[in-house]
């Protein structure tokens, strides 16, 4: 039987489950036995290297004790807004779970890592919460005073317990359930029983009995990670088809809601890292659902899923350098398991070079699900290819990514319109990135260090989130404003072998009545080497006191001998900026960014300031042209 994902209800989901006979312990191995799978992994060139990385991590962790999640760490978010201290310890514990889980499975019952895995699982089962403090500040786990009084009087029992289900609680349930199924009798029976009890108590039972969580109708990564992880945990935990069908019927709308957040172009406006995360968990869950239902429930048949799968090849500048609009890092390794799986589903996907593989420790959250699938799903003999010369235009997201691979090197230009209420939004309408010869010369700073402030009302005061750190104008000292009403209008897009043209009207990004119109035009000339022209055409209703054309750089801009400004990372990676000296003076401001890993980074704002007297009540239009030449 086949069940359309548009027509999933309790009865047909249950019928699909009853018609299938796949034991949960075999869902990951398809047509092969676990022993054959392990043999292949130990023989493959790429998989052997990955296994060696896992062993090195495991041997290091054996010398360490399990770090404690103390109350002092737990309370820091509520008292200081800092997430880092607790999360560092939390993810070190999850690193032990993932590392020892993989090694215990690879080595079998005689594994020296099995005891360490058992201790780690026991410790995680004892955690007060599997959530992060940032996600349960107002959750039932915080125990209001009146509820604590009732509990002391014995009026609250286990049947009335309530739990917050966040990303990491759901992921933990997925990981523990899958490890238990994967290791089977090699894992002590007591731990397997406790895993089942805690997954039921903390995740599956609350999911079907409590009021819906906010993420169940979200259109971003929370819906797929939480919904997908819960579906996976249920598949491994629940043997009764009625119970499993009830959980899946509740989880499927969250997966559908996640997909609804994508437009037809398949772009993930949260940024590439959230594509890897959110769409990864969608894929891991959809695969298990497909196999547990004997192929009856197939999310991969939807054309939108195929379009989202194609996003990866459109979101890299070159090598590991990412088109990192929104909260995304500037570099990323590839999850080869996810890439290999999607390539087998959709042949038009370009499988990236194996040298771009993410290392085992590249995921600072040490997530189990992608780590296991990077072993099981990676393709050793795939026809790999470098990111190719191409111009990708994503009309719904209003992204243009144009990549030129030439004899002397790679040159890439990326620009965006969009609006200022995107998931993990930065105020960045009209922003662009320039890459040459291994270096991002005009960058996006990417994501900063997550904290309470980062996701609160002060978000855009943080450098990387506001337009003050993007290559966009500043008008009368005003930065772009947040909100969906502040959006770009695409006036033109055209691409051919000679050049790409992209024009946006972006005046609504600025909350000033002085500005009638602001058109930003990009012309990317595909010469050898390429040249970019950026032109801003302003029409004012009233003369502003200041106009600044800001361009961001990682390397300190300097004046060249011919009067142009040079931004250089090396002798090969450099760009020269031409401007109208009659209109603008220039200066450089040093800015300080704190990246996602709490590391300080210095960046530079190259500011072209409109000279006094250029604008007046009798002259309210200006045409600001800049040219970027690679040399």
HSE at residue 417, side-chain half, CA atoms within 13 A, is: 27
Q: How far apart are CA 520 and CA 472, in angstroms?
A: 9
Question: Helix (H, G, I), strand (E, B), or coil: what is residue 289?
Answer: helix
Q: Is 20 exposed, middle or buried (0-12, 13-18, 19+ CB in 10 A)?
A: middle
Tokens of 102: 């993989």
**How much is the pLDDT for 4?**
62
CB-based contact 233:177 (threshold 8 Å):
yes
421: Cβ–Cβ under 8 A, 6 or more apart, which residues?
Answer: 482, 483, 484, 486
pLDDT of residue 14: 80
Nearest-angstrom CA–CA distance, 441 and 108: 49
pLDDT recorded at residue 493: 98
CB 280 within 8 A of CB 335: yes
Residue found under tokens 């800015």: 591
pLDDT value for 144: 64
Q: What is the reported pLDDT for 392?
A: 97
Task: Identify the helix (H) or strand (E) that includes residue 178.
Answer: helix 167-183
Q: What is the pTM of this model?
A: 0.94
Q: What confidence score (pLDDT) does residue 32 get?
A: 85
Give the span between the Cα atoms of 403 and 493, in whole angstroms. 16
Strands (E) in 513-555, as ranges, are 515-525, 531-540, 547-553
Handedness of CA 536, 537, 542, 543 (dihedral sign): positive
Q: What values do phi and psi take at 331, rounded to 5?
A: -135, 150
Q: What is the pLDDT of residue 452?
A: 92
The secondary element (H helix, E strand) that includes residue 588 is: strand 584-594
Task: Write the DSSP symbol of residue 620.
Answer: -
Residue-wise pLDDT tens digits, 110-136: 889 999 999 999 999 999 999 999 999
Q: Which residues of the chain have pLDDT under 70?
A: 1-7, 21, 25, 143-160
């Amino acid at each position: 039987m086949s069940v359309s994902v548009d027509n999933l209800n309790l009865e047909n989901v249950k019928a699909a489950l009853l018609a299938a006979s796949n034991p949960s312990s075999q869902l990951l191995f398809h047509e092969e036995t676990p022993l054959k799978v392990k043999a292949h992994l130990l023989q493959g060139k790429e998989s052997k290297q990955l296994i060696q990385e896992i062993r090195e991590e495991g041997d290091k962790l054996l010398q360490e004790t399990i770090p404690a999640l103390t109350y002092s760490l737990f309370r820091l978010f509520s008292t200081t807004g800092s997430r880092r201290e607790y999360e560092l310890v939390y993810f070190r514990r999850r690193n032990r779970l993932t590392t020892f889980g993989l090694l215990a499975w690879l080595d079998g019952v005689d594994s020296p890592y099995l005891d360490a895995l058992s201790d780690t699982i026991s410790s995680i089962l004892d955690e007060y919460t599997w959530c992060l403090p940032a996600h349960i500040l107002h959750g039932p786990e915080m125990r209001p005073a009146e509820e604590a009084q009732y509990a002391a009087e014995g009026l609250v029992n286990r049947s009335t317990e309530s739990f917050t289900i966040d990303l990491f609680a759901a992921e933990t349930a997925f990981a523990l359930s899958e490890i238990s199924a994967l290791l089977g009798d090699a894992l002590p029976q007591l731990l397997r029983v406790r895993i089942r009890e805690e997954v039921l108590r903390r995740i599956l039972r609350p999911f079907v009995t409590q009021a819906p969580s906010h993420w169940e109708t979200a259109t971003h990564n929370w819906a797929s990670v939480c919904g997908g992880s819960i579906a996976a945990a249920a598949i491994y935990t629940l043997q009764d088809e009625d119970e499993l069908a009830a959980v899946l019927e509740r989880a499927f709308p969250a997966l559908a809601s996640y997909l609804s957040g994508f437009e037809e172009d398949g772009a993930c406006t949260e940024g590439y890292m959230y594509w890897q995360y959110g769409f990864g968990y969608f894929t891991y869950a959809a695969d298990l659902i497909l196999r547990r239902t004997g192929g009856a429930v197939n999310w991969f048949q939807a054309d939108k899923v195929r379009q989202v799968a194609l996003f990866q090849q459109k979101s890299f500048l070159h090598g590991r350098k990412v088109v990192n609009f929104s909260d995304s890092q500037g570099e990323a390794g590839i999850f080869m398991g996810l890439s290999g799986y999607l390539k087998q589903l959709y042949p038009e996907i370009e499988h990236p070079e194996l040298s771009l593989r993410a290392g085992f420790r590249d995921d600072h959250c040490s997530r189990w699900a992608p780590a296991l699938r990077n072993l099981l799903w990676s393709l050793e003999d795939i026809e790999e290819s470098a990111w190719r010369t191409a111009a990708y235009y994503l009309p719904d997201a209003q992204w243009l990514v144009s990549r030129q691979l030439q004899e002397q090197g790679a040159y890439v230009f990326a620009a965006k319109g969009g609006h200022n209420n995107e998931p993990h939004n930065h105020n960045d309408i009209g922003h662009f990135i320039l890459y040459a010869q291994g270096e991002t010369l005009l960058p996006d700073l990417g994501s900063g260090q997550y904290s309470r402030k980062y996701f609160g009302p002060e978000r855009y005061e943080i450098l990387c989130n506001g337009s003050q750190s993007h290559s966009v104008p500043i008008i009368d000292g005003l930065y772009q404003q947040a909100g969906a009403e502040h959006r770009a209008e695409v006036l033109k897009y055209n691409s051919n072998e000679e050049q790409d043209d992209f024009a946006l009207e972006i005046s609504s990004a600025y909350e000033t009545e002085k500005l009638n119109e602001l058109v930003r035009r990009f012309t990317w000339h595909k010469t050898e080497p390429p040249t970019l022209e950026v032109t801003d055409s302003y029409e004012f209703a009233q003369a502003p006191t200041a106009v600044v054309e800001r361009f961001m750089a990682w390397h300190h801009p300097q004046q060249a001998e011919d009067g142009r400004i040079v931004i250089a990372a090396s002798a090969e990676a450099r760009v020269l900026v031409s401007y109208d000296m009659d209109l603008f003076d220039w200066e450089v401001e040093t800015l300080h960014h704190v990246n996602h890993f709490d590391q300080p980074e210095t960046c530079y704002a190259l500011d072209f300031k409109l000279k006094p007297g250029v604008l007046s009540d009798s002259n309210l239009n200006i045409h600001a042209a800049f040219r970027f030449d690679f040399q």
